[in-house]
A = this chain, B = another copy of it.
């Protein structure tokens, strides 16, 4: 049975495996100070076009959120996030574990709005409340939508006017950057955010996220802070080699595009059938709504998550494609849809 459950179900792309296998007997410096990591950083920097940025390779998304946020904030400072934010719902309180409250707003289609941020600032008026200091958002969001240039730039400006940090969770950044309606570049992110990360775990890597810190104030002693959080890999070159490969010949973008294309095949068929959407997306996550009867058929042939019962007997599901999803799998899914 093929699973559309996740984009982290397959080991890694063959190019990465090959790169790791090439020099098995070489010796590397430890803790990310090796030549592969340096090369990877240089390659990513060439996309950022933003001299002040610094790059650190970490192991996973929750870890990167935890390391970044706990390093950036003083004890009384809080995060603002939509209530569907990964840090609020699916990280077992990793942020609160470091002492910081996550203040939530509803969001629209998984995206935070300036009005909501303003309302949070207005509400937190004195020292009996936490001080909101960092806006956290995900690109793409937890429900597969993306911020467009106009949105992200205005949030960025708002944050700078109000002395807020802007931090972008990029666990699925590849999928966002290669969405058909995307108008944001890595270089934009470097200029508009204080920090963001580039996820490899969900885009063809074995594991790994590249944390990019653009605000020099927030870079201070980051290697201390990464080590303290247990997030400094002894064999940092295992991360370096992966990112070096991903940012050679556009592999990172190509893999994300494959995932998006596979999703598009399914999306097209669903649109043709006038299937209703829980939320409309252009990335590698799809949230169509099915009846119980339709679900019975689909679930007998494919694995995927039920997301929400949107009305009695109407179920939103989540379908996720990846760099490794074969065309045959989406073709089979389309056929299954056509058989309904």
Interface residues of A (CB under 8 A from B): 2-3, 5-6, 8-14, 17, 20-21, 23-31, 59-67, 70-71, 74-76, 78, 89-94, 96-101, 127-131, 201-202, 206-207, 221, 223-235, 237-238, 241, 324, 326
Residue contact A207 to B238, C-beta cutoff 8 Å: yes
Residue contact A101 to B96, C-beta cutoff 8 Å: yes
Contacts of A127 in B (CB 8 A): 92, 221, 223-224, 226-227, 232
Contacts of A237 in B (CB 8 A): 11
With A127-B223, A221-B76, A235-B8 known to touch, is A230 a contact of B27 (CB < 8 Å)?
A: no
The 6 A-B residue pairs whose C-beta atoms are closest, nearest first, are A63-B230, A127-B223, A76-B224, A92-B228, A93-B101, A9-B27
Q: Could you tell me the distance between the alpha carbons of A59 and B130 in the complex, rounded to whole angstroms?
A: 21
Contacts of A94 in B (CB 8 A): 227-230
Question: Nearest Cβ distance between residue A40 and chain B, in whole angstroms?
Answer: 15
Smallest Cβ-Cβ distance to A202: which chain B residue: B234
Q: Could you tell me the distance between the alpha carbons of A231 and B92 in the complex, rounded to whole angstroms?
A: 11
Contacts of A230 in B (CB 8 A): 60, 62-67, 91, 94, 229-231
Contacts of A61 in B (CB 8 A): 234
> Would you call the interface of chain A mostly helix, strand, loop, or mixed?
loop
Residue contact A20 to B17, C-beta cutoff 8 Å: yes
Question: Nearest Cβ distance between residue A284 and chain B, in whole angstroms?
Answer: 15
Contacts of A100 in B (CB 8 A): 93, 96
Residue contact A238 to B11, C-beta cutoff 8 Å: yes
Contacts of A25 in B (CB 8 A): 10, 324, 326
Q: Could you tell me the distance between the alpha carbons of A228 and B98 in the complex, rounded to whole angstroms?
A: 10
Question: Nearest Cβ distance between residue A123 and chain B, in whole angstroms?
Answer: 9
Residue contact A10 to B30, C-beta cutoff 8 Å: no
Would you mind naming 8 contact pairs between A and B with Cβ atoms under 8 Å apart? A5-B30, A9-B27, A10-B28, A21-B21, A90-B128, A97-B229, A130-B224, A207-B234
